[in-house]
Amino acid sequence: MTNSAAYHIPVMLSECIEALQIKPDGTYVDVTFGGGGHSKAIFEKLDQKGKLYVFDQDPDARENAWSAPNFFFIAANFAHMKNHLKLMQAGQVDGILADLGVSSHQFDEAERGFSIRQEAPLDMRMNQQSELSAAEVINNYEEDELLRIFRSYGEIANARKLVNTILLERSSGEINTTQELITAIKTCIPPRKENKYLAQVFQAIRIEVNDEMKALEEFLDSCAEVMKPGGRLVVMAYHSLEDRMVKNFMKRGSISGEIEKDFYGNVIKDFTEVVRHPITANEKEIETNNRARSAKLRIAERNG
């Protein structure tokens, strides 16, 4: 078994493994395989009867997989988890782990276009087979579409100014690289907030390119059907949009946050929170892995 620590350092590894309450003969799913760090720790706790199914749509992640009769790599978006597990006759599972967001590897590979610090084509596709790229969004989306993604996915205060600036800049030629985009929108960046602002802009584009909110919604909606009563759902989010969806799902039973109650006034939901507040990384981990700084870990148990 091998995995690349350089590909992605797993965030809150011990907390995730503890949260899953792994049974040696259980069946587990890691829907964000990446560098395999979390998966390796799960697999090491399984015996020969235990099974681990992992998902990743990024072809680079497959290089971190290993061969074992009870390990299964599925090259697909986690939105399709339910169908793939059914196809593989996995049965109901004992635990699911999701480490959302972009891996360190994807940020570090300049040509992928995820990082604000490196010159690269405007790509941002997690699945390299997808047709929609960041360049397509920036150069061809209509004004109202751009406003939607920057307001909804980037929560950018001056979204209209940003969009008008992009429309003006692209009218004189396509914006095809990360640095061309950064240069084009420089007048929109608030003083002393360059990194935060650009991170929000890139986040909004990335979410649109990869349809991340819809994928997360479909994934969460399928968890109850594939999990055994008492099974654990462990989800780590890195920005407020994802975390809000996960929180609503675990706490209120719906992604929108709307509550449905039974005749007796009990909230109808498939999962119950194990911890009321998200778990965050300690200072020591943040010092060695900056990505852990924004991580929020939530845990829920499947109701019987």
Name the residue among 235, 195, 185 with its Cα closest to residue 215: 235
Domain termination site, one of 193, 210, 227? 210
Domain termination site, one of 150, 180, 210? 210
Its domain, for residue 39, covers: 13-104+212-302
Q: Report pLDDT digits (tens) over 94-150.
A: 999 999 977 555 555 656 767 888 889 999 998 888 889 999 999 999 999 999 999
In this structure, are 195 and 243 located in the same domain?
A: no
Q: Which residue has the tokens 């507040």?
A: 277
133: left (phi over 0), alpha (psi -120 to 50) or beta: beta
Q: Report pLDDT digits (tens) over 20-74.
A: 999 999 999 999 999 999 999 999 999 999 999 999 998 888 999 999 999 999 9
User: Domain holding 182: CATH number?
Assistant: 1.10.150.170
Q: Model-level pTM? A: 0.89
Burial 78-95 (b: 16+ CB within 10 A, else e): bbbbbebbeeeebeebbb
Number of domains present in the structure of the chain = 2
Burial 116-142 (b: 16+ CB within 10 A, else e): bebebbbbbbbbeeeeebbbebbeebe
In this structure, are 199 and 219 located in the same domain?
A: no
In this structure, are 197 and 51 located in the same domain?
A: no
Q: Is the pLDDT of residue 7 over 80?
A: no
Q: Which residue has the tokens 């990446």?
A: 34
State the DSSP H helix or E strand holding residue 301, giving kind and residue range, or none if neither.
Answer: strand 296-302
Report pLDDT for 103.
Answer: 58
Residues β-bridged to residue 302: 271
In this structure, are 217 and 96 located in the same domain?
A: yes
